[in-house]
């Protein structure tokens, strides 16, 4: 149990920042397209307290700790009103893509910091191993969140990106699937389908870390 708690605490900072920055970027890009709902709701902030969801940010992570120390969860969705967008389809696509894109950028940034940490900080430093592990966790957590949210299943971001290209009637029908989305996701997770779809996140994370070591080592 002690090992699980340690692993959980190492992942927790990266997890909280990843889900909060993901939601912040949805709101920030929405504002660029003319929707001020997130800002007016006090959600255009990096303060984690504004984004935490009781079930997704507290209960689910604690359940993950109880089950073995892995982290899974989500932040409170930022309120968006697509009807306020200056360009509806373009806005819907980029606002939806902003969250996963933010996670991809954070994964790349964490990988570069990892490379710098390994090359330029002595492994005798007291916090060397914990911070190295946190940066590794940040890479994998952000990649998993990005790929998961890109799945074209309502209410995930990928479904909104698909809707941006659909005719109105088909987009409405597709959106109506959202009421079944949670149950579909549970079924896909239980059968191992989602695990298979997210498998590239592990390989991509290893690639990011190896590439960062090569890049920083060549400086």
Per-residue pLDDT at 88 = 92
Q: How confident is the model at residue 92 (pLDDT cuts 50, 70, 90)?
A: very high
- The per-residue pLDDT for 219 is 58
Helical residues (DSSP H) of the chain, grouped into ranges? 2-32, 37-40, 60-67, 88-120, 128-149, 157-163, 168-176, 178-190, 193-197, 199-217
Query: Distance (Å, rounded) from C-alpha 48 to C-alpha 52?
Result: 6
Please state, in angstroms and rounded to a whole number, the distance separating the CA atoms of residues 23 and 2: 32
pLDDT tens per residue, range 56-75 = 888 877 777 676 656 777 88
pTM for the complete prediction? 0.89
Radius of gyration over alpha carbons of the chain, in Å?
18
Positions marked catalytic = 23
Encode pLDDT of 39-59 as tens digits.
Answer: 999 999 999 889 988 888 888
Query: Residue 143 in contact with residue 201, Cβ under 8 Å?
Result: yes
pLDDT reported for residue 69? 59
- Closest C-alpha to 148, from 61, 10, 19, 14: 19
214 CB-near residues (< 8 Å, 6+ apart): 115
Tens of pLDDT, residues 183-208: 787 787 778 777 787 888 889 999 99
- What mean pLDDT is reported for the chain? 87
Q: What are the structure tokens assigned to 125, written together? A: 């430093």
Q: Could you state, in order of their start, the residue ranges of all structural domains in the chain? A: 2-217
Mean pLDDT for the stretch of residues 1-23 = 83
């Amino acid at each position: 149990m002690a090992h699980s708690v340690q692993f959980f605490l190492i992942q927790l900072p990266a997890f909280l920042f990843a889900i909060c920055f993901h939601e912040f970027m949805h709101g920030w890009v929405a504002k660029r397209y003319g929707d001020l709902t997130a800002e007016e709701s006090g959600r255009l902030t990096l303060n984690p307290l504004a984004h935490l969801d009781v079930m997704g940010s507290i209960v689910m992570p604690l359940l993950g700790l109880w089950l073995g120390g892995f982290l899974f969860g989500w932040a409170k969705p930022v309120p968006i009103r697509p009807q306020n967008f200056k360009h509806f389809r373009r806005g819907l696509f980029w606002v939806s893509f902003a969250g996963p894109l933010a996670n991809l950028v954070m994964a790349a940034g964490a990988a570069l910091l990892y490379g710098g940490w390994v090359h330029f900080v002595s492994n005798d430093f007291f916090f060397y191993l914990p911070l190295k592990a946190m940066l590794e966790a940040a890479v994998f957590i952000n990649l998993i969140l990005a790929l998961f949210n890109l799945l074209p299943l309502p209410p995930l971001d990928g479904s909104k990106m698909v809707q941006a290209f659909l005719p109105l009637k088909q987009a409405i029908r597709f959106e109506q699937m959202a009421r079944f989305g949670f149950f579909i996701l549970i079924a896909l997770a239980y059968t191992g389908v989602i695990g298979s779809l997210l498998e590239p996140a592990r390989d991509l994370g290893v690639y990011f870390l190896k590439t960062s070591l090569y890049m920083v080592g060549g400086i």
